[in-house]
Structures are given as C-alpha cells and as structure tokens.
Structure 1
Amino acid sequence: MPTDQPQHIAPDALPEVITRYLGAHRVRDTATALGAFHPDATVTDDGKTHQGAPAIETWLTRSASEYTYTTELTEAWKTDPDHYVATHHLEGNFPGGVVDLQYRFTLSGGRIKTLVIEP
C-alpha cells in the first residue's frame, strides 16, 4: 500500500492507461475499457468485487446498460507512480440521482491492477 501523502494533480496528468479507461467507459466502449486492465485485475464497485477479464467485462457491460448518467472528472490525486484517485461527479437515473465517486486505481506493468469505486 502507498505510504506517501497524496498530491493533487491536474486531471490531464493522470497516466494514459487511466484516461484511456475513463474515456472508453464514458462512451461505453467495453473492448477499449477492458484492454486497460491487467488480465487478473479486480474491480470493486457497489460493494461487489469482480476479478479477472471475464468478470470485469460482464461488470462493464452491465454498468453501461443499467443506468443512463453523465460523468465529470472533477479532481485527481497521485500517491505514488502506481496509485491514483480520480473523483467523478455523476448525475443520472440511478438511485439518488447524484453522487461523487472516487475511483482508486493501482497500476502494475502499465495496466490497471485494481480499481475500487466508492463514495
């Protein structure tokens, strides 16, 4: 786990693999989004963990079709070269209609190894 204090960074200073995932996820491009992940990556979202490419692909497909929403990247943080947080503001037809979520990324070998999404 990272031990350094997080540094606030410009959202466009996030690593390319993170911006590629976020952009692909926003336009519901499952193949490109999935390609950003390490083959045995894990994603934790809404209290459920999805491990490995097949489970993450199912999660991406479900999340793209379950609700309609807009997302805006509002902040970014870097703890070390492998740990980043991207804060997103979402509005849509999901329960509550508005939420700010933190996407906590751990990178390994130039790909996303873990992603935890939580308020």
Structure 2
Amino acid sequence: MTSDSTEATVTGWDQLPGPITTYLVAHARRDTGAALAAFTTDAVVTDEGRDHHGGAEIEEWLKSSGDSYSYTTEFTGASILAAASFDVVQHLEGDFPGGVADLHYRFTLEGGRISRLVIEP
C-alpha cells in the first residue's frame, strides 16, 4: 500500500491499463512470453517476500510460479492508487495450502509497461 493519505479510486476491469490486463490474462493462461512482454526490462516483482529483478529473473519466476499447484483466478476488484499505480484483487482457488486466497497485485507502470509488481495478501 502507499503511505499517501489520498483515497484510492475504485475502478473496473475495462478501465485498467492494457499492460495490467495483458499480464493478468497471460499469467492465468500460463503464457510466459506474453506475460513477460508486459514488463519493463528492469522491472521488479515481489512475490512471497522474494524480489525478482529484470527480465531473466521474472521469466524464471513466471515459469515456476504456477508449477507447484493448480488453481483458478478471478478478478474481484481494482483501485487506482496514483497516476501510474494500481491495486488489483484476485481470488484464487486451488490445491495450494489453504485452498483459497485473495491476493493484491499492486502494479506500478512506467513507459506503458509494468515496472513494479508486488503480490501479497
């Protein structure tokens, strides 16, 4: 979350920027190439408390992030946090520990691509 005291603006799927929806759809399909293309070359992804820097590390993360478990995702909402910052909530169900999770995907965009993604509960 941002430390800014301004309120987020609720938005829908159709109002999200293209790089975000492209990534989310490609990741759900396990299309590593299309998902990776949504990121800047020096992007950083934080998932499960680990940072993945740049294209090679993000590609490896994309390839391995869905290998351990089978799951489905469903968009449940989104907010605009700042001019180039968005929080997308996805509902996951699958065979991972707990079986159900609502995760926040916090995106920062730069130059029409994702420069930062933080995934957390």
| Interval of TM-score (by shorter of Structure 1 and Structure 2) | over 0.9
Aligned-partner Cα distance in 1 for 2:109–2:75: 19
- Which of residues 73, 85, 89 is equivalent to 2:75? 73
1:2 Cα shift? 7.4
Deviations 1:13-64 (A, max 9, x none): 1101100000000000000000000001000001111000000000000012
Aligned-partner Cα distance in 2 for 1:2–1:80: 11
Unaligned runs of 5+ in 2: none
Which stretches of structure 1, 4 residues or more, deviate above 4 A after TM superposition?
none
- Alignment: residue pair count: 119
Partner of 2:21: 19
% identical equivalent positions? 51
Secondary structure at the aligned position of 1:22 is classed as helix
TM-score by length of structure 1 reads: 0.96
1:88 Cα shift? 0.4
Aligned-partner Cα distance in 1 for 2:80–2:39: 19
Amino acid at match of 1:26: A
Partner of 1:36: 38
TM-score by length of structure 2 reads: 0.94
Secondary structure at the aligned position of 1:23 is classed as helix
User: What is the aligned-residue RMSD (CA, Å)?
Assistant: 1.2
Aligned-partner Cα distance in 1 for 2:7–2:95: 35
Aligned-partner Cα distance in 2 for 1:53–1:5: 32
Matches within 5 A, 1:56-95: 56-95=58-97
Secondary structure at the aligned position of 1:12 is classed as helix
Partner of 2:52: 50
Unaligned runs of 5+ in 1: none
Amino acid at match of 2:50: K
Deviates more, 1:6-15 or 1:33-42: 6-15
